[in-house]
Amino acid sequence: MTDQVIGRKPAHATIEYFDDQHPPLGDFMRDVVDGLSATPRSIPPVYFYDQAGSALFDQITELPEYYVTRTELDLLESISDELSLRAGPGAVVIEPGSGSSVKIRTLLDALGDAAAYVGLDISKQHLVEACEELARDYPDVAIGAVCANFTTGLKLDHLPLPEGRRLVFFPGSTIGNFEPAEARAVLAGFRTGMRKGDAVLIGADRVKDEQILVDAYDDAAGVTAAFNLNLLKRIRAELGAQLNTDDFAHKSIWNRDLERIEMHLVAKRDTSIELNGERYVFEAGDSLHTENSHKFTPESFATLAKDAGYTLVKHWSDPAELFSLYWLEPKWEA
């Protein structure tokens, strides 16, 4: 059920609307219980992003080892003229998983005359703050915030969006956090918010040297470790679990066969997590799998795009071929 859009304002110095689609959050307990009961144990990465997790992710993006953000930003800047031509005047940019809405600034600068921006994220407070800040800095762009889960399609019909080409912007290689079948479904779901002529601009990290990848997810300053361990803090604070975060260590592993980085929380000693009347025992070395970050070759990404119902129109990479951006257009029935 979608709330009525409220608070539309004539000037753009603040956000035009906040649309709360009430993504179900009550599943945290169920997902953690299911994940701790499964073999192997795992928890979906969406739960990383409470206020503290979002702030830690922002710190990660500035780490020397984490080449992803700066490479993608440089790449966006280097192709800005072409992006502006492709998007055309008065584009409406929609960003699922907008987070701090940082990269969008580079895209809005590149486009020059975007008419509107929709930040869409599951982390409500962070979303609204980020969109408010963006609205102050881009008074000529009509900015709105939508609290929703982007894995269930984009529900945009009720929003006061201008008529320009809709450009779904999905940077940060967030698509890599999903298993291949889920990634196809997420991409296919974006089409629910698109019309003929619209496009997706998506950033995807590339398969590369193993050490570069492992270091990017296990930095010397320990910020990624804190990000990973924050999940246990949330489980303790919000679900009332009894656990000792010091009993777990962060680990990043390159899974060559599945072409993905895996993040794990590994028990340093025999320990347990008590939750909802159950005791989940961890022996030293046992793992709780917390995130996958799939990496792509241009060929594997082209297959994903095609299987999700898109034509891959153009692909760009940085000179070191660390990261790629792709322009996709939905295939429509004739």
Ligand X SMILES: C[S@@+](CC[C@H](N)C(=O)[O-])C[C@H]1O[C@@H](n2cnc3c(N)ncnc32)[C@H](O)[C@@H]1O
* Residues within the interface to ligand X (CB under 6 A): 46, 49, 54, 57, 97-99, 102-103, 121-123, 149-151, 171-172, 174
DSSP for 281-297, please give it: EE-TT-EEEEEEEE-B-
Nearer to ligand X, 199 or 267 (CB): 199
Q: How far separated are the first and last CA of the chain, in Å rounded?
A: 32
Nearer to ligand X, 84 or 174 (CB): 174
Minimum distance of ligand X from residue 185's CB (angstroms): 12
Q: Which residue is nearest to ligand X (CB)?
A: 172
Nearer to ligand X, 84 or 123 (CB): 123
Minimal CA–CA distance to 141: which of 114, 159, 161?
Answer: 114
Nearer to ligand X, 84 or 106 (CB): 106
Tell me the CA distances in angstroms from 138 to 48, 87, 104, 105, one per residue in order: 29, 18, 11, 9
Minimum distance of ligand X from residue 325's CB (angstroms): 12
How would you label 198-231 residue by residue, b for 16+ Cβ within 10 Å and e otherwise?
bbbbbbbbbbbeeeebebbbbbeeebbbbbbbbb
Minimum distance of ligand X from residue 38's CB (angstroms): 20
For CA atoms 157, 161, 164, 169, the dihedral sign is negative
Nearer to ligand X, 175 or 267 (CB): 175
Minimum distance of ligand X from residue 7's CB (angstroms): 21
Q: Tokens 């698509």 belong to which residue?
A: 175
DSSP for 209-274, please give it: -HHHHHHHTS-TT-HHHHHHHHHHHHHHHHH--B--GGGEEEEEEEETTTTEEEEEEEESSSEEEE
Minimum distance of ligand X from residue 330's CB (angstroms): 20
DSSP 8-state assignment for residue 165: P
Minimal CA–CA distance to 205: which of 61, 69, 39?
Answer: 69
Nearer to ligand X, 226 or 273 (CB): 226
Nearer to ligand X, 41 or 103 (CB): 103
Nearer to ligand X, 27 or 270 (CB): 27
CA 7, CA 56: separation in Å to the nearest integer?
Answer: 31
Minimum distance of ligand X from residue 174's CB (angstroms): 5
Minimum distance of ligand X from residue 20's CB (angstroms): 13
Minimum distance of ligand X from residue 221's CB (angstroms): 18
